[in-house]
């Protein structure tokens, strides 16, 4: 299991958790927890794959769906114990954002070979799930909060893509992209 696989499942799991936390804030039932967890967890990647015209990743591999469902059940039974569900949601969202910025850029680069498309795909993959979650849960869109949401995604996708172009090893590019995105977004949450 390499870093890309870990980033991939981690991103899906933490975004699923943010979807479930949103469901929890709105006091939905457990099936709606799963639904919102699933949409948030795989939404960004689904859109990425449709635009790149490659098979949607969770059709061939159901593990992603099962991860979302398991995370939703876990959050359903534990979320009321968390002191600030919103704060937890923001931090998990930051991890997912960083993981998906790298994953999206990597897939965009692999499929098209174009750095511009790679960076756009990183941004879209990283932001789309959270946008869908906020629209569906009737929350104020994450785009409207005074935090550098899209900038963090751009930073992660950009560092990954430029690192790859510069010939760095994949692991370095992935780690660099993840850390860059998380640092920008985390800094904004902590100090913004």
- Give the residues lining the site for a copy of itself (CB under 8 A): 26, 28-29, 31-32, 34-36, 38, 46, 50-53, 55-56, 59, 62, 65-66, 112, 114, 116-117, 120, 123, 127, 131, 135-138, 140-141, 143-144, 148-151, 154
Nearer to a copy of itself, 144 or 171 (CB): 144
Radius of gyration of the chain from its Cα atoms, rounded to whole angstroms: 16
Looking at the Cβ atoms of 38 and 104, the one nearer to a copy of itself is 38
Is 135 or 172 the residue whose CB approaches a copy of itself more closely?
Answer: 135
Query: Does residue 21 contact residue 99 with C-beta atoms inside 8 Å?
Result: no
What does the block give as tokens for 160? Answer: 């990954």
- Residue 117 neighbours by CB distance under 10 Å: 17
Nearer to a copy of itself, 110 or 172 (CB): 110
Residue 74 C-beta: closest distance to a copy of itself, Å: 18
The whole-angstrom distance between residue 158's C-alpha and the CA centroid of its chain comes to: 16
Question: Smallest gap, in angstroms, from Cβ of residue 169 to a copy of itself?
Answer: 27
CB contact at 8 A, 186 and 173 = no
Residue 151 Cβ vs a copy of itself, minimum distance, rounded to whole Å: 4
Residue 116: closest CA among 105, 129, 100, 127: 105
């Amino acid at each position: 299991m390499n870093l890309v696989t870990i980033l991939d499942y981690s991103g899906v799991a933490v975004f699923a958790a943010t979807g479930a936390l949103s469901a929890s804030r709105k006091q939905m039932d457990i099936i709606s927890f799963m639904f919102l967890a699933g949409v948030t967890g795989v939404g960004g990647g689904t859109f990425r794959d449709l635009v790149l015209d490659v098979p949607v990743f969770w059709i061939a591999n159901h593990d992603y769906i099962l991860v979302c469902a398991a995370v939703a059940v876990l959050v359903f039974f534990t979320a009321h114990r968390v002191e600030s569900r919103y704060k937890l949601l923001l931090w998990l969202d930051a991890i997912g954002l960083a993981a998906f910025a790298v994953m999206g850029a990597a897939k965009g680069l692999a499929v098209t070979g174009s750095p511009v498309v790679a960076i756009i795909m990183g941004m879209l993959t990283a932001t789309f799930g959270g946008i869908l979650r906020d629209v569906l849960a009737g929350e104020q869109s994450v785009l409207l909060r005074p935090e550098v949401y899209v900038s963090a995604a751009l930073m992660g996708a950009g560092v990954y893509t430029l690192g790859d172009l510069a010939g760095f090893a994949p692991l370095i590019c992935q780690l660099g992209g993840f850390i860059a995105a998380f640092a920008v977004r985390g800094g904004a949450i902590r100090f913004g």
